[in-house]
Amino acid sequence: MHYYALSVNIIRVGVLGASGYAGRTLCALIVRHPNLALAFATANEQAGEIARVAGRDITFAAADGVALDQADLVFSALPHGVSGEWVARVRAAGVRAVDLSADLRPGNGWVGFDACLGHDDIVYGLTELNRAAVAGASVVANPGCYPTSILLALAPLIERGLVAPGATIIANAASGVTGAGNAPKRELLFAEVTEDFRAYGVGNGHRHLAEMRASLATWGADVDLVFTPHLLPVARGILSTIAVPLTRPLDDVLAPWRERYAQEPFVEIADAAPALRDVVFRNTVRISATMARGTRAPMVIVTSAIDNLMKGAAGQAIQNANVMLGLDETAGLCA
């Protein structure tokens, strides 16, 4: 017989843009969270409709009709180009915010945003790499899904000076279709995606490339990055396969990641290359690495898997909010 005594502190949070895949996942995580309560969930096109989320009925509100300050923290899962302005409104109401859009991320700055908010105020929320700043932030820009997968894989190599100066890093990644949102588009129909696979934005089209290059520049990394995303016939998950030229071969190839992330609850280092199956529905990045054999210059192949809706969006947003609110960082997020 064991006895526990729990003191539970409930904090009210709101969700703007709750009807998309990330917004719904956020609502589900909040409903199940031991310390958070859902103050409002907006979805303008479905305002008044009731959605069943994690066994609870949620009524979508119109964003304009919501008192933003009834929440202690607001998540915005609004579309790129719309979200930034709403975060400014949240700030004007004196409320802290986590923005899941690209609007406030490095390399993707919303034009004119400086005027109403100022960039100093915004912290890039790759939690494992920026925890202290997140804790004190009034606004967190939640990272993109691809950058989360790739930057967490690269950081230990760059921090240790293991990447060859002037090197070109080749990052290939493949994402499930929830990464493209739930707006109806012909090319995302089941009959178009099943049994198919394709690259998109080849060369440099993707906004996530700018986000990653900006982060690498912040880190002072003297590298080029080439990024090619692909669309997978799966609902969720991202797998990145990254070739990195090194200054020297690694004898214990996993050591950089094991050491850097030893204390991290949401990072797993694995002997074998991770699969989507290992991470879906979890707020976890799973990383492995192998030296390419038979090449003259040392090259490591790093593989990194996340659930794009969890660690790549809503899960990391909750993780950031936990840090901002002084909660246990893992609260509501089974590792």
List, by residue number, the catalytic residues: 145
* Smallest gap from residue 118 Cβ to a copy of itself (A): 28
The only residue of 299, 310, 313, 318 in contact with a copy of itself, by rule CB under 8 A: 299
* 220 is an interface residue for a copy of itself by CB under 8 A: no
- The interface with a copy of itself within residues 8-27 (CB under 8 A) comprises 8-10, 21
Q: Are strands 96-99 and 11-16 parallel, antiparallel or unpaired?
A: unpaired
- The interface with a copy of itself within residues 253-282 (CB under 8 A) comprises 273-277, 280
Number of residues this chain uses to bind a copy of itself (CB under 8 A): 78
Q: In degrees rounded to 5, what are phi and psi of residue 125?
A: -95, 45
* Smallest gap from residue 88 Cβ to a copy of itself (A): 30
**Structure token pair of residue 232:** 């997978």
Sign of CA dihedral 106, 119, 333, 59: negative
With b meaning 16 or more CB within 10 Å and e meaning fewer, what string describes 68-101? beebbbbbbbbeeeebbbbbbbbbeeebbbbbbb
Q: Contact 44/18 with Cβ under 8 angstroms?
A: no
* Smallest gap from residue 264 Cβ to a copy of itself (A): 14
| Residue closer to a copy of itself (CB basis): 129 or 253 | 253
d(CA 139, CA 101): 12
d(CA 294, CA 217): 31
* Smallest gap from residue 105 Cβ to a copy of itself (A): 17
- The interface with a copy of itself within residues 147-166 (CB under 8 A) comprises 166
**Candidate ranges 118-126, 170-178, 255-263, 313-321; the one touching a copy of itself (CB under 8 A):** 170-178
| Residue closer to a copy of itself (CB basis): 64 or 277 | 277
Q: Are strands 267-269 and 285-291 parallel, antiparallel or unpaired?
A: parallel
| Residue closer to a copy of itself (CB basis): 59 or 204 | 204
- The interface with a copy of itself within residues 227-256 (CB under 8 A) comprises 228, 230, 232-237, 239, 241, 243, 245
**Structure token pair of residue 188:** 């995302």
The only residue of 114, 121, 196, 259 in contact with a copy of itself, by rule CB under 8 A: 196
**Structure token pair of residue 182:** 């739930």
The only residue of 64, 195, 252, 271 in contact with a copy of itself, by rule CB under 8 A: 195
| Residue closer to a copy of itself (CB basis): 76 or 240 | 240
Half-sphere exposure of 79 (CA within 13 A, CB side): 8
* 51 is an interface residue for a copy of itself by CB under 8 A: no
Q: Is 295 left (phi over 0), alpha (psi -120 to 50) or beta?
A: beta
* Smallest gap from residue 95 Cβ to a copy of itself (A): 21
